[in-house]
Chain A
């Protein structure tokens, strides 16, 4: 077959980016205003709440003498009041995912859903430049908003960390602090763009993005994060509360002993309590003459091992998490642009 007579395509100077900036701004301003509004509300809440925590902590710290019942009371009060993260922890972890999904998923999904991509992709600018331009405002605004929120969250938690209530490595705090929170926001945004392209509809794309992102967040918090660097191990029974325990197991004479073997030993000795995942799961019965199961095992030649991540690795872990999530997001965005280029209308 002969080929068509083709001329070398004339070099066309592309449409300048500053023109596209207006387009991107005009197309995303409603979404971005909504996102900024929601995040601003949460920031204000955390700021007010944080202020309360900070002053309660300051009052407690100022209390003298430390051992007086009045000061003990303040300490108990502080721990009771701010001891559990509860719903707040959940919200602050989930927010980057929600914001990223709502900022990212509609960008291409809306165009594909309404058919306006047939307009956009046949303008002189070309679809790749168009897609890149459209992503920028959502990316910048959601990252900026979540970084600000992350700063407020870290500040709010400072007294809680100082009081030994929550480790800054805790899964409710670590991913919502800078810079990891930026990585999580970028990941949600990029997943959203990609899901929008695959689904071609806004709502399923947003839902899928949040679900996938949440799954990833759970996976990372449960296992992945604790292996960024090989955990430290110790045979001490007390691990510093500022660190995060990874796992526990037992040995005797250098060989591993399983939970079921330990439980058999405890049962034979008539010790109340069981071992599961290397840790004791029942306190000795009140008034029991037998020692608690851990003490019993330690006295009988067993060794409890604990692996943990020390508090000092916090920043290393933050940057590792930020780094790989950002790389993941860039890959997903790159793939999206490639798919936009290849996509058949």
Chain B
């Protein structure tokens, strides 16, 4: 079952296309990192998935074909928006009660226990909580709904490293305990590199790369060799940093390729961050890749 499936999904605000012809099929059970620079269209994609926004063109369905935004979709998806919007004048207990009354299913006991464990004063107004506590409260409210899909928009952007770690730990625990799928956006890949097992790379409103992280790593290679050395036709060159003597290539190896690395080339595995950078460079400005700024 695909937790998120889109076909030629396009969203325009006025004349600006925030998302263009986006086609995805994300299977369940993953922690999906939606990564891209600021303004790339990450929030737009997430808003479409949770039904806050409606597509200009194309289609989006969730949880095995349920239309996004429908009653069934809302019932099974929990969303934590950017900046954790909570009613500032309501306490944690009030927010728990509120969320319970806005949903068919809500695990009040779980929510209360988690608030307790986190050391959040139950009667304290949400507006007076620290950033980390607010994020944890928002996450608790989402998790207590026992959703099948949890969608988090830049959840860690405003958090300090410790709070960020705690937040991600809570998400991972929920994944392990409830078997939920998580869709999470961030403009910092580094913090997701160890936890995300599915990547959706977006820039300028378009999906540049998507797939299971392991597969992506497996079919890309960093190659070093003499500049004049023949290049394998099975390689699709993503990044080419060449001097007169040597070439540093990041290539995607065709699935049909059966042989190993061509003679004269030395291959190394690529890291997820290197891969993401190369794809973002490839599409944003081709000149920079030629300028030879290796990371």
A130 to chain B, nearest CB (A): 7
Question: Which of these, A6, A13, A124, contacts B65 with CB under 8 Å?
Answer: A6
Contacts of B105 in A (CB 8 A): 124
Interface string of B170-182 (1 = CB under 8 A from A): 0000000000000
Residues of B with C-beta under 8 A to A13: 104
Residue A88 lies at the interface, judged by CB distance under 8 Å to chain B = no
In angstroms, how far is the closest chain A Cβ from the Cβ of B131?
15
Query: Which residue of chain B has its CB nearest to the CB of A110?
Result: B87
A121 and B52 contact, CB distance less than 8 A: yes
Query: A114 — which chain B residues lie within 8 A by C-beta?
Result: 85, 87-88
Partner-binding segment picked from B73-81, B195-203, B227-235, B245-253:
B73-81
Segment with Cβ contacts to B, from A18-26, A47-55, A276-284: A18-26
CA distance A123 to B5 in the complex (A): 21
A122 at the B interface (CB under 8 A): yes
Q: Is the CB of A123 within 8 A of B7?
A: no
Flag if B74 contacts A6 (CB, 8 Å). no
- A1-52 interface with B by 8 A CB criterion: 1-7, 9-15, 19-20, 22-23, 26-27
Instruction: Verify if B282 is at the interface (C-beta below 8 Å from A).
Output: no
The answer for the CA separation of A123 and B76 in the assembled complex, in Å, is: 9
Structural contact, A14 and B71, CB atoms closer than 8 A:
yes
The reply to whether the CB of B193 lies closer than 8 angstroms to some CB of chain A is: no
Q: Are B81 and A2 within 8 A (Cβ)?
A: no
Binds A, one of B93-101, B109-117, B160-168, B283-291: B93-101
A125 on the interface (CB 8 Å rule)? Answer: yes
Q: Which residues of B contact A286 (CB under 8 A)?
A: none
Residues of B within 8 A of A1 (CB): 7-8
Q: B28 near A: Cβ within 8 Å?
A: no
Whether the Cβ atoms of B87 and A10 lie closer than 8 Å is: no
Contact in complex: A22, B101 (CB < 8 Å) = yes
Tell me if A120 counts as interface (CB < 8 A to partner B). Answer: yes
Majority secondary structure, B binding face: mixed
| A interface residues, how many (CB within 8 angstroms) | 37
Judge whether A23 and B79 touch: CB under 8 Å: no
A261 to B13, CA, bound (A): 62
Q: How far, in whole Å, are A317 and B160 apart by their CA atoms in the complex? A: 65
Contact A115 B74 (CB under 8 A): no
For A240, list chain B residues within 8 Å (CB): none
Q: Indicate whether B54 reaches chain A with its CB closer than 8 angstroms.
A: yes
Contacting pair B61 A6 (CB below 8 A): yes
Convert B40-84 into 0s and 1s, putting 1 for each residue whose CB lies closer than 8 angstroms to a CB of A. 000000010011111000011100111100111111011101010
Inside 8 A of A345's CB, which chain B residues have their CB? 47, 52-53
A126 at the interface (CB under 8 A from B): yes
A344 at the interface (CB under 8 A from B): yes
Bound together, the chains give a CA A5 to CA B101 distance in angstroms of 33
A14 vs B70: C-alpha distance when bound (angstroms): 12
- Give every chain A residue within 8 A of B101 (Cβ-Cβ): 15, 19-20, 22-23
CA distance A126 to B75 in the complex (A): 9
Instruction: State in angstroms the CA–CA spacing of A26 and B50 once bound together.
Output: 26
Q: Tell yes or no: B274 within 8 A of A by CB.
A: no
B66-A122 in contact (CB<8A): no
B98 touches A124 (CB 8 A): no
**Known A-B contacts A4-B5, A122-B50; A15 and B61 likewise in contact (beta carbons under 8 Å):** no
The answer to whether A7 and B66 touch across the interface, beta carbons within 8 angstroms, is: yes
Are A125 and B52 touching (Cβ within 8 A)?
Answer: no
The answer to whether A119 touches B7 (Cβ under 8 A) is no
Whether A241 is near chain B, meaning CB under 8 Å from some CB there, is no
CA distance A11 to B138 in the complex (A): 28
Cross-chain contact B103 with A123 (CB below 8 angstroms): yes
Q: Does A118 contact B (CB under 8 A)?
A: yes
Chain A residues whose CB sits within 8 angstroms of the CB of B8 once the complex forms: 1
* CB contact under 8 A between A122 and B75, given known A9-B70, A23-B101: no
A118 to B87, CA, bound (A): 11
Q: How far is the CB of A17 from chain B (nearest CB, A)?
A: 11
List the A residue with the shortest CB-CB distance to B98.
A23
Contact B74 A15 (CB under 8 A): no
Which of A7, A123, A344 is close to B64, meaning CB atoms less than 8 Å apart?
Answer: A7
Asked if A118 and B103 sit within 8 Å, CB to CB, the answer is no
0/1 per residue, A327-345, Cβ < 8 Å to B? Answer: 0000000000000001011
A260 proximal to B (CB < 8 A): no
Binding site for B on A (CB under 8 A): 1-7, 9-15, 19-20, 22-23, 26-27, 114-126, 130, 342, 344-345
- Provide 9 A-B residue pairs closer than 8 Å at the C-beta atoms, listed in order of the A residue: A2-B7, A6-B61, A6-B65, A14-B71, A19-B102, A114-B88, A116-B86, A123-B103, A345-B47
Give 3 nearest A-B pairs by CB, closest first. Answer: A345-B52, A118-B81, A123-B102
